[in-house]
Amino acid sequence: MLRTPHLGKGVCLVWEPWAHNHGEVVPGYAHCLRELGHEVSVLVSPGRIKEGLLSRMQDPGIHLNSLSQTQIRRLLKYGDCAHCAGLPRDLRPWFRGLGRIDFAQLFDEVEAADFILTAYQDDNPDHLFYRTAGTSGNFQLVYGFRKPCVLLREFAAIQGFDEGNSVLYEGTEDLGDGMPRAARLPAEQYGEMQRRLDATASALAQSSLDNLRALLAADRGPSE
C-alpha cells in the first residue's frame, strides 16, 4: 500500500471518487488497462481498499495508493506528489517523499533531523483542535527528541512553544519564510533553542506526573 502516489511516464491513473459505490468498476478498469500492457496506479481512499476486488489484486503492475479525496484532487490538479500535501510550489524542491515507513525508520529520520516542520494551517477548520485543546504526534516527537519545530505562531503558546525554543512564523502563507530562517540559524543559537526546549519538555513531563499523582490520590479517596 502506497501513501506517496506511484507516478511515471506511461503509468495510467485510475481514480475512485465515490464513497459508497463503484467498488467493482475501478478494479475492472485497472484489469483492462493491464491487459493492454499499461502499468496502473489506482487512487483510492483508505476506507475503500479492503472492499470489493481491490483487496484481492496481486498484480505487481497495479499500484494501490491510499490517499484522501482532497489529496487526490490536489494531485490531479497540480500534477505532482508534493502538492498532495498542499505544499506551495516554491517549497516542493526541498521535500522528499518517504511514503509509508515504520516507526523505527521514522525515529531514525527524526534523530537525523535538526528541526521538525509542523505544517498546520490557520484557515483549516480541521486544525482548530490543535490550537485550542489538543496535542499531536508531531509535538510529541518535538518534545521526545528535543528537536525544535517550525510552527505557525497561532499554534505555539498552547503547546508550550515560543521564540526561545522554536522557529515561529506569522501566517500559513509565511511557511516559506520560516524554513529558511531555521536553516540559517547559527549553531550557538540552535544549541540554546534545544536547551530551552529540553527545559520545556521536562516541565511538561513533571506536570503530567503531578496531574496523574493527583488523579490517583483522588480516586483512592481520603486515607483512613
Structural domain boundaries enclosing 194: 103-210
Place of cell 511538561: 204
Query: CA triplet 131, 136, 140: central angle to 5 degrees?
Result: 120
| pLDDT value for 23 | 58
| pLDDT value for 164 | 95
Q: Are residues 22 and 73 in the same domain?
A: yes
Q: Could you report the per-residue pLDDT of 5-23, keeping only the tens digit for each?
A: 777 777 888 887 655 555 5
Query: Mean pLDDT throughout 55-74?
Result: 80
Q: Are residues 70 and 117 in the same domain?
A: no
Please state, as a whole number, how many other Cβ atoms lie within 10 Å of the Cβ of residue 61: 14
**pTM, whole model, 2 decimals?**
0.59
Per DSSP, the three-state class of 58 is coil
Rounded Cα–Cα distance for residues 48 and 146 (Å): 38
Domain assignment of residue 139, yes or no: yes
Domain assignment of residue 36, yes or no: yes
Query: CA triplet 101, 82, 120: central angle to 5 degrees?
Result: 80
**% helix, strand, coil for the chain, step of 5:** 50, 10, 35
Q: Are residues 132 and 195 in the same domain?
A: yes
Q: Are residues 137 and 179 in the same domain?
A: yes
CA trace torsion 181, 153, 160, 157 (10° rounding) = 150
Q: Are residues 66 and 108 in the same domain?
A: no
Per DSSP, the three-state class of 190 is helix
Q: Could you report the per-residue pLDDT of 80-119, keeping only the tens digit for each?
A: 555 555 556 666 666 776 766 788 998 999 999 999 988 7
* Number of independent structural domains in the chain: 2
End residue of a domain, out of 32, 54, 88: 88
